[in-house]
Amino acid sequence: MLSIGVRGGEVGARLAALDAAVDGLLEDDLTGLSNDDLVEFFQRFETVLRKAAAVGHRMIVETVERRVPEDLGCRSVNDFLVGTLRISGADAARRVRGAKKVGTWHSLDGEDMEPELPATAAAQRAGAIGPDHVAAVAKVMRKVPHGVGFDEITVAEQILADAACSVTPEEVAKIGAHLLAYLNPDGDVPDEKERKRRRGLRIGKQGVDLMTPISGLIDPETRALLEPVLAKLARPGMNNPDDPESPSGDVESETLDRDALAKAAARDTRTAVQRNHDALKVALRQLLSSGVLGSHRGLPVTAILTMTVRQLEDATGIVTTASGGLVPIRDALRMAETAHPVLAIFDHHGRPLHLGRAKRLASADQRLALIAASGGCTRPGCDAPATLTAVHHITEWRDGGATDIGNEDLACDACHALVHDGPGGWETRVASADSEYPGRTEWIPPPHIDPEQRPRVNHRHHLGDLLSAALAHYRARREDELREHRRRWLREPGGDGAGDEGSP
């Protein structure tokens, strides 16, 4: 048991009570708790742990300002923490960094100094965020350019701290990346001339396993052109070469079986990288089969595979392409089944036996309006862009919700699936005219996420508007405070130009 002397009597009593409470929780029978009780336990206990981290920062500040490490012969406060607490060097460094960012340090005359990240510090003291959130906010704020004004820096930190109260540390980092784009529109990227110099796509030689390495850098325009293609064709469950029942082609097809897609998505174990690969393969098939590339050396620009009838019958061997690549026969036969590329199969005499093509296109006006209005998935914390979303009925169709722009918004597949009446389900509604964000889609979380079920809106795709509004609010409040300060100063006796109550 830790013993603290007379001067620390009150602190010692609090530590004893904390120690006794934890010992009690270690021994308590938890089997009688309901599922809801367990959820509440997790939430309340996490809040306590986050507050405890803030207490740890106070202790680090006190230790450094008293020069305790030097008195004990330690090289640094990190060294002191490692030796005293038997924690790792990385953990010690993280705690010290946190104390520097959100701890309350003191001036030479003992006055409290505002933390470097005041809004973040307040959120941690309230138990709303943890050390990883603090580290994520600090990492973003370190990247704010020196030319950004004090007001913008203050508001940006407040936005990040507010966001951290409802999202994960990883999501804070994503929000920060977009926020930095508004604070520093030109960014730290090289200029156009440098981007042109660095652009490139390197296709390596085929290995003995017939796999080909690919690397390089694509410019922003190329990425912008590629992203909607992947969004359309890389959806979970679509174009899965490992699943014979997986729907193929275009997710927007009118003939697509939505139930089959949902089941295929549930079976889809591919990573996002693998889905992108398969989608790019389908996109290339569609591009080559469309004929838009015209001809090359008198032939349509397309993939041409050459095989013999014996290879076709035996289903063994390697097939060559017109550009010199090698394709295993099994892959070639799968390509023949889809018949999207132009496929040429020759007999023993070199005569073609088969030639096939396919082409399709789709669009939607309502989606364009919602993309312009919402920018992406509307569930709070989700950063899925508009190309990865579907149109969601805010009031469900089965409940009489109309298919009009006032009852529609964007939701990605994963978030859309969260809207249901069962346990853990979210609700959606249109924010009222007198709310802070009228007309926006509000998402109401289930009790295990927020026991008070407070409605939320997603700011991820509106950070520019959020930053502008927050700046205006901050500056207006500062002006009010300044006017109040001037009013009080002018009314104080002895002030320059001020008199008593009866003075003009």
Query: Is there a single domain that holds both residue 153 and residue 291?
Result: no
Backbone phi, then psi, for 401, in 5-degree steps?
-70, 130
For residue 408, the SS3 value is: strand
**Beta strands 214-217 and 200-203: pairing type?**
antiparallel
Supply the range of the domain harboring residue 495: 466-504
Are 344 and 312 spatial neighbours (Cβ–Cβ below 8 Å)? no
Q: Check whether residue 56 and residue 135 sit in a common domain.
A: yes
Q: How far is CA 38 from CA 34, 324, 423, in A?
A: 6, 62, 15
Number of compact structural domains in the chain: 4
**Domain assignment present for 5:** no
Task: Say if 175 falls within a structural domain.
Answer: yes
* Last residue within a domain, chosen from 323, 354, 385: 354
Residue 201 near residue 193 (C-beta atoms within 8 A): no
Each residue of 122-159: pLDDT tens digit?
999 999 999 999 999 999 999 888 888 888 899 999 99
| Same domain assignment for residues 176 and 39 | yes
Q: pLDDT tens string for the chain (504 positions)?
A: 455 554 557 888 899 999 999 999 999 999 989 998 999 999 999 999 999 999 999 999 999 999 999 999 999 999 999 999 999 999 999 999 999 999 999 998 889 999 999 999 999 999 999 999 999 999 999 988 888 888 889 999 999 999 899 889 998 988 888 888 777 755 555 556 776 788 887 888 888 888 888 888 877 667 766 777 777 788 888 888 889 888 887 776 778 888 888 899 889 998 888 888 888 888 877 776 777 766 544 445 455 555 656 666 777 666 555 444 556 666 666 656 543 333 444 434 333 333 222 222 222 456 666 776 787 899 988 888 877 788 888 887 777 777 676 788 889 888 988 998 888 899 999 888 888 888 889 999 998 888 889 999 998 887 777 777 778 877 888 888 888 878 888 776 655 544 444 443
The answer as to whether 50 is a domain residue is yes
pTM above 0.75, yes or no: no
In a domain, 188, yes or no: no
Residues 38, 177 share a domain:
yes
Supply φ then ψ for residue 222, to 5 degrees: -65, -40
For Cα atoms 232, 235, 236, give the angle at the middle one, nearest 5 degrees. 170
